[in-house]
Structure 1
């Protein structure tokens, strides 16, 4: 089975590298177009049907027509076309926005061979049933590589925003996915619930503050790590650490 892909990226070395890696896999992959900007890719893509293209792989930041506009145009033309975004972790804000268009996966730069293989294999397996897709179909959930990307970004958001009031719906919105889905995904990938992971971050930060900022009051530390109720924070800290914040500071502060 031939898997026909189109690549759009303004870095020639990335395009050539992707083609080279794909050509060496035990999958029959045919690159039907490789373009340095979204405009050139769209000129070709708009002439194709779902029977002629199996996967679009696109960068976000490109000249003439960026990845967002290309994805949006591709979605309007071929509603169920699998699309993967080429991105780095530093570009997550761009990738997160693209997810709302039903992006299937993320190929992290530099391209990981195993992730690319998983993506192409998934596209190939789903190709047989593609003809049965109907308009308005829910976009597919990310494949293995995309799931890893989403979980890592959830972790990053929690680590940066642990001091804020946690809202699952807001986290879901930030990664562009359903709240119940990201809860199941996070537990499946990490073995922890999102709440337990956040508690771990908050208690770790509280420990640092207790030792590095001894003048801070207990309620101030509680507030800084996201707990408006210092009594609850005290009980949670003791449950997690086996001692109260005051006892911890007394024992470990030199």
Structure 2
């Protein structure tokens, strides 16, 4: 709707213009017809006016003087002038003063309609740009600590926001988190019962921020009542968490209000059931005050992992999760604790020469904000931890398999070492055993057999100086003297005889 005032000292022309304007469409409403500029000025502060259509030549105060006086008091009002052909020089001057356009008498309805639609389009564009600018200022102050922002940005934002009625009085911030996520338009539908001024904006995934005005007739529990009333409007199929800030005044308090509401959302995230509303004034304050979820892990989890007591480690995790639920730490603190849990498991795997866990991937997948509530997060965390503990358990079993193979080789190094025979001992396939042995020890099974035989050969050469070198080779599993000499020199850099001679010196 565009509100229009008509000013002309001739009643016939004044009323005729008003009739033509209203015939243009329902979007154009004449809010007053005035016989003089002074008559309009007397009521200027009492009427909603977007456009003034005025004659130029009028007694006492002409159209140009009227435009100047209105612009001093209401600079955003638009103007169009009506002039006779002989007044064209006045029309040009008016256009230089920022008038939208002029109409020649007698006024043509099509020309009038074109002018009105053009002015409405410009008004809509200005309103849109203003709304976008207001949203940008609000987002800037919601997301950032004002002490860290450049002064010119703070001044610009607070100046523009201070001109809105929402920030001239008290306000509160509501953060609404839904699962599944709903659009701002859907949220607006649920606020259809609100008569108070408010502003909505889409925020983090699954979250909407609502700024609500708090008037002089409201009371200390108004914000809580708003949240509870809104929560009842949502369908039963939605999982809803609402965080309610305290009551604040002034755009500079936006960040404080948002952080209060966000804290309440995260606190309510731990609640059982499909919906919860938490207000900052009555929220239990011992949830995250000085609580450090890493302490229990370092105290109890590390010892259980070091001795590979998996059942004990699982019990520690269960107790830790119960403690988390009781204390309700912030998402940031919760994420730090979960990251530490995976880090402890990763460190233990690394100690046992297992493949390292990709902690960054775990942190991304287990970000609390991605989950509808504590129960779904806890379930996903337990599953992920269980998988890691099972991998650690498998590492233990694989380590035992490698130790068994190494022990067998040390006891039977004189015999033929067929890979299939070794694999059968530990119930693994030959290819998997070969890969596992290389991963765990850094050398192949063949290389390990050679190193064991050569170490034994060095012992015999040192202990029995009279024994022939070919006899030594036969004793450690190399019946071919030439091959024994070749392998021994490749490993030690000396022939068996050279090695014995050097040891005697």
TM-score normalized by the length of structure 2: 0.25
TM-score normalized by the length of structure 1: 0.48
* Higher alpha-carbon Rg: 2
